[in-house]
Amino acid sequence: MDSMDSMYDVLLQLPLFQGVSRAKISELIEKTKFHFLKYKSGEQIVSKGEECTHLKFLISGCVRSEMVNKSGKIRVSEVLCAPNVLSPNHLFGRNTNYPSDLYAVEETGIMQIDKQTFIRIMQDESIILINLLNIISRRSQKSVETFLALSSGNVKERLAFWVLCFTQRKSIDVRVICKQKDLYTFFGVQRSVFMNALNELKEDGIIDYSTREITILDREKLKAILTTDDDD
C-alpha cells in the first residue's frame, strides 16, 4: 500500500471525513500540508488550558484524557484510540482552550492541520463542514440532556448521563477518580442511596469501584440504562 492509499484509509475512518469521496480526499492530501508528530508512552500531548490552534487527528496509538473539576476533587479519565479526532469542538467558539490534559498511552502518532487550513477545507467540501456541525451539535445537546438528567431520574441514570457526557462514545478504560463522599455530595443524595446504586451497577458488570475510584467496565451497558435512544 502506498502512502496515498494509507493516508486515504486513515482519513476515511475519521468521523469528520465520512461521506467524502476518494477523489476529494486524494485532492485534499495533495493540496494540504499535514504535520505529523510522534509521542512516546507517557509523553504529554496537550495541557489543559492550552489554546487549540490546530485540529489534531489521532492516527496511531492511544491517548489518555484527564479532566479535573475546578475544586480538583473529581477527575474523569478515559483512553481514546486511533483513529480519532482530539477535541474538535474546541477549535472554534468563545472558549478555544483544551478542557483536559492528554497523554500518550503508547507510541502515538498525531496528524494536525492549522485552523485556517481547516477552514479552507470546509469551504471547499461542505460534507466536512456538516460532519463538524453534527459533532459540535451532538456534544452541545449532551450537556442539556445531562442537566435535565441530574435534576431527575434515579442515581444510576444520573451517574450514567454524567459519565456519558464527559467521555467519548468509543473511549475505553473510563475512570472517575474521587472520594465517594465528594461524588454523592455532588449528586445530592445520601451515602446509602449512592452505595446501593454502585453495588447494583457492579453486580450487573457495568462498573467496578473502590473507595477512591469508579471504573466503567462496559460503557454500552451504562448507556443502556438510559431511556433515550439518542447516539451519545
The alpha helices in 14-154, defined as continuous H runs, are: 22-31, 115-124, 126-150
Q: Which grid cell sits at 112?
A: 494536525
Question: Worst-scoring range by mean pLDDT, 30-39, 47-56, 160-169, 200-209?
Answer: 160-169
Distance CA 221, CA 211 (A): 22
Is residue 1 predicted with pLDDT exceeding 60?
no
Residue 62: phi and psi, rounded to 5, are -135, 155
Can you say whether residue 87 is alpha, beta or left, with left for phi > 0 and alpha for psi between -120 and 50 degrees? Answer: left
* Nearest in space to 60 (alpha carbons), one of 117, 118, 105: 105
| Residue type (1 letter), 91 | L
- The pLDDT assigned to 12 comes to 82
- From edge to edge, which strands make up the β-sheet containing 62-68? 44-46, 101-104, 62-68, 75-81, 172-177, 213-216, 207-209
CATH of domain 3-62+82-136: 2.60.120.10
Q: Helix, strand, coil proportions of the chain in percent (round to 5)?
A: 45, 25, 30
Structure confidence by residue, pLDDT tens digits, 135-194: 888 777 766 665 555 555 689 988 998 898 889 888 999 999 999 999 999 888 999 999
Beta bridge pairs of residue 46? 102
Least confident range from 56-65, 112-121, 141-150, 187-196: namely 141-150
The pLDDT, as a whole number, for residue 33 is 86
How far apart CA 30 and CA 15 sit, in angstroms, is 20
227 pLDDT higher than 70: no
Task: Find out whether 223 and 204 touch, Cβ atoms under 8 Å.
Answer: no
Check: CB of residue 182 under 8 Å from CB of residue 174. Answer: no
The pLDDT score that the predictor gives to residue 28 is 87
* φ, ψ at 159 (rounded to 5°): -65, -40
- In the chain, ranges of CATH 1.10.10.10 domains: 141-224
Is pLDDT at 201 greater than 70 in this prediction? Answer: yes
Q: How far apart are CA 96 and CA 87, in angstroms?
A: 10
CB 34 within 8 A of CB 112: yes
pLDDT at 34 over 60: yes
Burial zone of 42 (CB within 10 Å; 0-12 exposed, 13-18 middle, 19+ buried): exposed
CATH number of 141-224: 1.10.10.10
Distance CA 172, CA 213 (A): 15
Average pLDDT, the chain: 88
Q: Is the pTM of this model over 0.75?
A: yes
Query: Grid coordinates standing for 35?
Result: 504535520
